[in-house]
Amino acid sequence: MIAITALEKAAELSKPRRIMKYVLVYCTAGNVSITVDEKEFKLTTGEVITITSGQIHSIKKTTKAKGFVLEFTLDFFCKNDNDIELIFHNGLFCHFAMNEVIAADKNIIESELNFITGELETQPYQYLISVHSRIELILVEINRAKVKRGDEIWKPDALFLKFLEAVRDNFEHNYTLAEFAKMLGTTEIKLNELAKLHAGKTAQNVIYGLIASEAKRLLTYNDLSVKQVAYKLGFSDPFYFSKFFKKHTRISPKSYQSSYSL
């Protein structure tokens, strides 16, 4: 549900891992290179990176690095629509591979992460409420840092984010857009409006993009055959999956797997 580890003691990050939690890595000293999906990022003192639930990530190299690795589930943090919008505000935890390194106020972020560490260790009365509020403060501070450096403010709609989560949680079912709309208590028209507003494309193409990203992760890190990946993503015909993958990535799944396998 919620955990925090010292960066220098996060042995589980030495190898690529995938967890269904939202991960925040903050560097308080030295520097660290982190791989997220196919990209590598370098954090130095006072810098943070956010990793979306489900993304493959690992520490590639450290130089006397110290800091924190905070991870929490969507259910823990998102109690209402405001929480959902905050977690994705300005692309902090985004399903469209918008990971980036952000320099944030070291005094504030480090203080809050230390406080969270203490709360989780001692578990005083209502400590989870306290931890939730501290994560809110951290995300607000990171958002302020992005605004200060001139980033355009992006405030997503909670319904759109629920749509993204629903797609990602149901790959194997191969649901139609109509089925997702019914699941979310809305209409295809509304989902298309939100998709065009927030992603610049139709809701169906958003689904295709999420499927393609998931396929890349499965092909690269899960030691599965192309046929197994196809079935895992709801395709009854592996040949059709190969055509789909090549259309959306411009490379065949077999070639992609050969290029990026560890």
**Per-residue pLDDT for the chain (262 aa), expressed as one digit of tens each?**
999 999 999 988 999 999 999 999 999 999 999 999 989 999 999 999 999 999 999 999 889 999 999 999 999 999 999 999 999 998 899 888 889 999 999 999 999 999 999 999 999 999 999 999 999 999 999 999 999 999 988 888 999 999 999 999 999 999 999 999 999 999 999 999 999 999 999 999 999 999 999 999 999 887 899 999 999 999 999 999 999 999 999 999 999 998 875 4
User: What is the value of pTM for the model shown?
Assistant: 0.91
In which domain, by residue range, is 97 found? 2-148
**Helix ranges (DSSP H) in 45-176:** 74-77, 81-88, 106-122, 127-148, 158-169
Whether 89 maps to a domain, the answer reads yes
Together in a domain, 205 and 183: yes
Q: Which distant-in-sequence residues (6+ apart) come within 8 Å of 89 by Cβ?
A: 139, 143, 154, 155, 156
Domain boundary among 148, 181, 215: 148
199 and 120 within one domain: no
Q: Provide the CATH number for the domain around residue 93.
A: 2.60.120.280
CATH number at residue 165: 1.10.10.60
Terminal Cα-to-Cα distance of the chain (whole angstroms): 29
- Number of folded domains that form the chain: 2
Flag whether 183 is in a domain: yes
Q: Is there a single domain that holds both residue 186 and residue 130?
A: no
Between the alpha carbon of residue 56 and those of residues 17, 18, 52, 234, the distances in Å are: 6, 5, 9, 21
- Residue 144 in any domain: the answer is yes
Burial of 173 (0-12, 13-18, 19+ CB in 10 A): exposed
Predicted local confidence at residue 261, as pLDDT:
58
Dig out the tokens for 150 from the structure: 């001139």
- Shared-domain flag, residues 107 and 128: yes
- Evaluate whether residue 153 is within a structural domain: no
Give the contacts of 88 (CB within 8 A, at least 6 positions apart): 94, 156, 161
Q: Do 243 and 127 share a structural domain? A: no
Task: Clarify whether residues 172 and 60 are in a common domain.
Answer: no
CA gap 138, 210 in Å, rounded? 28
Identify whether residues 112 and 185 lie together within a single domain: no
Same domain, 143 and 162: no
Integer Cα distance of 209 and 253 in angstroms: 15
- Domain's final residue, options 148, 182, 212: 148
Domain identity same for 179 and 138: no
16 and 76 both lie in a single domain: yes
The answer to whether residues 10 and 91 belong to one domain is: yes
Q: Quick one: 87 and 163 in the same domain?
A: no
